[in-house]
Amino acid sequence: MATRTLTSANAVPFHQAKRLQESLLAGLEKRLLVWMAGRIPAWINSDHLTTLGFAAQLFTGVSYALARSHRSGLIGATGFLVLNWLGDSLDGTLARVRRQQRPRYGFYVDHILDSIGAVVLLGGLALSDYISVTISTGLLILFLLLSIQSYLATYALNEFQMSFWSFGPTELRLLLVMGNLALLRRPLLFHGHVRLFDLGGAIGIVGMAAMLLFFTTRNTIRLYNEERLR
């Protein structure tokens, strides 16, 4: 079905990049989001959902910071992660279902807010004392580098990579939710010598570094071959 893109008289020409979403839950999530979008009241629009998602991400970070003094912060962080998924995942779907897409505005706003939100979330997690500052900083740096890689590829290749090796934002949120629930029961491993989130974060750093190396190398080779000097 063709969709209408909202533009103004002075808008520059814009061609939407191909969206590459191959995460584990992508098919099920898409059907669920389309179903939900068709039942949202008319007075709620995509901007409302974007604001909800961003606010929930900020409050996730605040909840993690509060978890340092009270473990109920982990429950709060879990609830806000669900709200973050709802707002962040549903805003674009609602725009597409209502044929009210604003691709440049949506792309810019969504991803700058995602970056700011990631800083607050991982900063709050570092303050929680459930993970070391070094591990949380490493996760943040690699998240931002992967984001930069994805945005550069969107411009250079006209392909927007929304997931990496079957992992996307929804899968990462689900892992965090599962980790929060595990922290309530057993925050330390190996007879109290290793924090659960330190182990999970270290694994995440290795995986994200491998993704960054793989996709950067692949895209560099592809661009070199497509623009080979004669």
Any domain includes 3: no
Least confident of 32-36, 192-196, 208-212: 192-196
| CATH number (domain holding residue 140) | 1.20.120.1760
Residue 35 resides in a domain:
yes
User: pLDDT digits over 140-152, tens only?
Assistant: 999 999 999 999 9
pLDDT at site 10: 58
For residues 172 and 156, what is the distance between their CA atoms, to the nearest angstrom? 26
Is 15 within the bounds of a domain?
no
d(CA 5, CA 2): 10
Q: Does the structure show a pLDDT above 50 at 138? A: yes
pLDDT recorded at residue 4: 40
CA distances in angstroms from 152 to 79, 101, 106, 148, 216, listed in the order given: 33, 22, 17, 6, 10
Report the chain's mean pLDDT, rounded to a whole number: 89
Angstrom distances, CA of residue 79 to CA of 63, 82, 116: 10, 5, 20
C-alpha to C-alpha distances, 171 to 46, 145, 219, nearest whole angstrom: 22, 19, 24
Q: Would you say residue 7 lies in a domain?
A: no
pLDDT at 15: 67
Cβ atoms of residues 110 and 91 within 8 Å: yes
Is 9 inside any structural domain?
no
Expressed as residue numbers, the domain containing 72 is 24-226
Give whole-number Cα distances, 9 to 12, 13, 183, in Å.
9, 11, 53
Span 151-170, pLDDT tens digits: 999 999 888 877 777 888 88
Contact yes or no for 165/172 (Cβ under 8 A): no
- The count of domains in the chain is 1
Q: How far apart are the C-alpha atoms of 92 and 43, rounded to whole Å? A: 16
Task: Indicate whether 108 belongs to any domain.
Answer: yes
Structural domain contains residue 29: yes
In a domain, 64, yes or no: yes
Q: Tell whether the model's pLDDT for residue 5 goes beyond 60.
A: no
CA distances from 20 to 154, 157, 165 (A): 10, 12, 11
